[in-house]
Amino acid sequence: MTATADGSGLARAADLVRHLEALAAQEDPGARADRELMRLIRAPGRVNLIGEYTDFNEGWVLPAAIDREVWIACLPWDRPEVVLTSLDLDQTLSFEFDSLSPEHSGARPWIDYIAGTAWAMREAGLPIRGFRGVLNSTVPVGSGLSSSAAVEMAASWALAVPGAQRPAPPAMALIAQRAENAYMGVGCGIMDQFASAAGRSGQALLIDCRATESSTVPIPAELSLVVCDTRTPRDRLDASAYNVRRSECELGARLIGEHEPGVRSLRDVDEAMLERHFHRLPEVVARRCEHVVRENGRVMATVEALASGDLDSLGRLFAASHTSLRDLFQVSSPELDVMVEIATATPGVVASRMTGAGFGGCTVSLVSKGSEESLRDRVLREYPSRTKLTPMVHIAAVVDGAGEIDLAGMAL
């Protein structure tokens, strides 16, 4: 997939190219001007409209790729090694292909995501190539906008051998998910990598996480997406309660499956079935299952509401999802709750809820066009006085998924 860059992307691309040329000149003066070998990659973060904690339960989710992105400019070489400079951290790290192993992960968090992707690509039989590169990101780390998935998808393009056959986005997303699951030790589902790989401009993706298939769902032209960052970053998810929630859901599916042979995961459980077996479940497990089963239904109802322009239903569905995440799944936070309260009290806001894994991070709001600045102003005014924190507000554009930028036609 050849990607395109807008005005701000062109400026970012030019900056990355200049940095890479300067580094190349230090290490090999002859490489500075060789732009024919240079590659430029972008991969977006995502915001999930609805469908939280349903992905690893093989259910349905409704994310959209947004214009908070990871960029990598790189010069491929024949050495089995990656040397990468993070411009955001002013830090250069490296790894060799011969040392790739999940047991070596965790010591250097940001480059481990690139190393994990290289490992997963090799495990899948894909050829990889080393490179010298620079990385820049506008996806806030720890915000719930999938900075790690964006890094993995950008890395999958940078590591690819030019001209080699590339798996389709769903298959590539599965490989990147394996990097996060098996290499980084985070039990995430497929949503984040899938959205970054397969996003479409102006469209949400309805993803069937069991079949790893998707369909596009147009976001009504009269609505904008506004993402409000509480500035309460989560701990690394493998050190948080994320993996605990996954094990609780798996236990619930297993206990129900002992009496319902067709149950492989909570995707196979409907509300009537859950009610029949509710008493068999430990109390906390029953609450987790109730959230997931009803959240799957809310995803489908949201798709219908978007298609029909039913704004009242969108508001109710987002509110029910947030309440369920707060009370049943217990992954919200006081700051997320305050942010949702402020948004829902703002004229022009159609719907608002926490998004992502929770424990901090962001909310997502559907806002009538023309009311975005009203929401921004109200959040910047009221949120600090209620939380003693300074928020960030992103009016997000919905963009295409990851790909390589054609440098040949760009005036950099």
Q: Kindly report, residue by residue over 94-145, the tens digit of the pLDDT.
A: 999 998 988 766 556 789 999 999 999 999 999 999 999 999 998 877 677 7
> What would the two tokens of residue 210 be?
């069991």
Residue 55: half-sphere exposure toward Cβ, Cα within 13 Å: 27
Q: Which residues are catalytic?
A: 192
> What would the two tokens of residue 299 be?
């995803």
Residue pLDDT tens, the chain, 412 long: 555 555 566 677 778 877 887 877 677 665 554 677 889 999 999 999 999 999 999 999 999 999 999 999 999 999 999 999 999 999 999 999 998 988 766 556 789 999 999 999 999 999 999 999 999 998 877 677 778 999 999 999 999 998 889 999 999 999 999 999 899 888 788 999 999 999 999 999 999 999 999 999 999 999 999 999 999 866 544 446 888 999 999 999 999 999 999 999 999 999 999 999 999 999 999 999 999 999 999 999 999 999 999 999 999 999 999 999 999 999 999 999 999 999 999 999 999 999 988 888 999 999 999 999 999 999 999 999 999 999 999 999 999 999 998 877 565 5
Residue 41: half-sphere exposure toward Cβ, Cα within 13 Å: 27
The answer to whether 348 and 223 are in contact (CB under 8 A) is no
User: Rounded to an integer, what distance in angstroms lies between the CA atom of residue 210 and that of residue 188?
Assistant: 14
Per-residue pLDDT at 15:
80
User: Rounded to an integer, what distance in angstroms lies between the CA atom of residue 285 and that of residue 249?
Assistant: 7
Residue 106: half-sphere exposure toward Cβ, Cα within 13 Å: 14
User: Rounded to an integer, what distance in angstroms lies between the CA atom of residue 31 and that of residue 72?
Assistant: 17
Where in the sequence of the chain do the CATH 3.30.70.890 domains occur?
223-396
Looking up tokens 């809310």, which residue turns up?
298
Per-residue pLDDT at 407:
76
Per-residue pLDDT at 377:
98
Q: Specify the CATH number of the domain 2-218+399-405.
A: 3.30.230.10
Per-residue pLDDT at 258:
97
Q: Specify the CATH number of the domain 223-396.
A: 3.30.70.890
Per-residue pLDDT at 237:
45
Per-residue pLDDT at 100:
92
Per-residue pLDDT at 238:
43
pLDDT tens across 386-404, in order?
999 999 999 999 999 999 9
Where in the sequence of the chain do the CATH 3.30.230.10 domains occur?
2-218+399-405
Give the closest residue to 332 by CA, choosing from 363, 354, 365.
Answer: 354
> What would the two tokens of residue 155 be?
């890395």
The whole model's pTM is what? 0.90
